[in-house]
Amino acid sequence: MVREAHPKIGLCEVSCELNDNVDKGLKNEIIAHFAGEFRASIVRVWLRFHEFAYCDKNDNVTIIEERAERLRAYLNALKEKGVKDFCLLSWSFLYPEDFECKDGWVVPDPVIEKDKYIRFLNVQKKLYELIVQRFPEICYFEPTNEPDGASGEFLHRIGFTYGKAKEENAPYIYSQEEIVKIVLDLSYFTNAGVKKYNADAKVLFPGFWNTDDAPMYLTKAFSELQSGQYPSICEVKSDKQADFFEIMNFHPYSLKTGEIDEDWLQGQKRLHGVMQSFGVGDMPVWYTELGWSDFAKETEKELIGGRFLKVFDAVEKELTFVKRMFLFRLCTLANKKECIGEDNFGLTYNIYAEEHPGEPKPVAITLAKYINGEDYNVDPLYKFAKK
């Protein structure tokens, strides 16, 4: 049975059949099944551009056919379970063949490497043009993920080395001001690429960390955009909001306590207040990542469902500007572990987990009953549980 999609509920997970070097338990069939059970109307599709396409030395971009088939299979599996919309996240960047920076998150320095930076932006634009033509059902696009992270993990200069201390990587980490400028340029070129063949496509502001610096980061972004100085590399500039992004995107993690309390609520209102101060308070806000790690603690596992319900209640009553919420993430990590925090996100246990393989966590049952009604039969949540 295909359940009617919930207009506000989305799902956020990384498919191991779409991207390389991903935990092998994150299979299309599992993601699609739970998208159906949670009545997700939209799925955030994580796609590594540097695996999905190829760019030669002359900046000619082509989609790798085998990768296109992977994406088509994933989208079809989700559609069969009632998913209506797709938000494509650029989970890495594409580079021309002659670029030496290919870790996926390097952005050429806009000042020191201006020529490379221009090529870089145009290559992303060309790939978006191809994706929109090939996959017209994808109508929402996110140019990158959490670029504001202070560690530089998701956006940095060439020379950045994963695993090194922040101090060692410091010369290769962009400042907040530099990140804002790059994000605006990326957003503009993404928007130009997707709207060339789909005027109704929408670009999201890249999801950002819910830190104390978040209001200042957002203030800088809108201030720079409305200055009329972007895109920075083009002679013709724009200060039109629709030329950059039309959906705001928060990652509302409760980083200090994990709780959904008054401090968290006021923080969300402050961010929306920034939008109002720049005249864009009516722009829809999405939570493209909403979730908690239980850090493998039994007491935490019992609390997370209640936290989700508090967010849903707040969105219904006070945070009415939030229009979509993506449950993050579906499964724990088992054979591609990162750290105790990241490994233990998940509404369900990985099918390769040592304990409870394939079983739902308490939060999954709470969410399924909230979304489908208290009389929901939880048996489908155990479909992949190992006997």
Residue 259 lies in a domain: yes
Share of the chain above pLDDT 90, in %: 95
pLDDT in tens, 244-299: 999 999 999 999 899 999 999 999 999 999 999 999 999 999 999 999 999 999 99
Residue 277 lies in a domain: yes
pLDDT at residue 132 in the model: 98
Measure the N-to-C terminal CA separation of the chain; round to a whole number of Å.
24
Closest of 227, 370, 204 to residue 287, by C-alpha: 204
Provide the domain limits for residue 162: 6-382
pTM over 0.85: yes
Distance CA 213, CA 299 (A): 30
Which of the pair, 335 or 299, is modelled with greater confidence?
Answer: 299
pLDDT at residue 351 in the model: 97
Phi/psi region, residue 376 (left: phi>0; alpha: psi -120 to 50; beta: rest), is: beta
Residue 387 lies in a domain: no
Residue 80 lies in a domain: yes
Q: Where are the extended beta strands (E) located within the chain?
A: 6-13, 40-48, 53-55, 61-63, 85-92, 140-142, 202-203, 248-250, 285-290, 322-328
Residue 1 lies in a domain: no
pLDDT at residue 336 in the model: 87
- pLDDT at 358 exceeding the cut of 90: yes
CATH number at residue 167: 3.20.20.80
pLDDT at residue 74 in the model: 98
Residue 132 lies in a domain: yes
pLDDT at residue 104 in the model: 94
pLDDT in tens, 110-140: 999 999 999 999 999 999 999 999 999 999 9
pLDDT at residue 201 in the model: 98
Distance CA 188, CA 151 (A): 25
Tell me the average pLDDT of the chain.
96
Do residues 293 and 330 lie in contact, with contact meaning Cβ atoms separated by under 8 Å?
Answer: no
With cut-offs at 50, 70 and 90, classify the pLDDT of residue 11: very high
Q: Phi first, then psi: what are they for 118, rounded to 5°?
A: -60, -45
pLDDT at residue 2 in the model: 80
pLDDT in tens, 83-106: 999 999 999 999 999 998 768 999
- The domain tally of the chain equals 1
With cut-offs at 50, 70 and 90, classify the pLDDT of residue 308: very high
Pairing relation of β-strands 202-203 and 61-63?
unpaired
pLDDT at residue 277 in the model: 98
Share of the chain above pLDDT 70, in %: 99
With cut-offs at 50, 70 and 90, classify the pLDDT of residue 208: very high
pLDDT in tens, 228-253: 999 999 999 999 999 999 999 999 99
Residue 106 lies in a domain: yes
Q: What is the mean predicted confidence (pLDDT) over 17-46?
A: 97
Token pair recorded at residue 148 = 């504001």
With cut-offs at 50, 70 and 90, classify the pLDDT of residue 356: very high
With cut-offs at 50, 70 and 90, classify the pLDDT of residue 3: confident
Residue 135 lies in a domain: yes
pLDDT at residue 127 in the model: 98
Query: For 361, how many CA atoms within 13 A lie in the half-sphere containing its CB?
Result: 29
Distance CA 133, CA 172 (A): 36
Pairing relation of β-strands 6-13 and 202-203?
unpaired
With cut-offs at 50, 70 and 90, classify the pLDDT of residue 80: very high
pLDDT at residue 326 in the model: 98
CA 195 to chain centre: 20
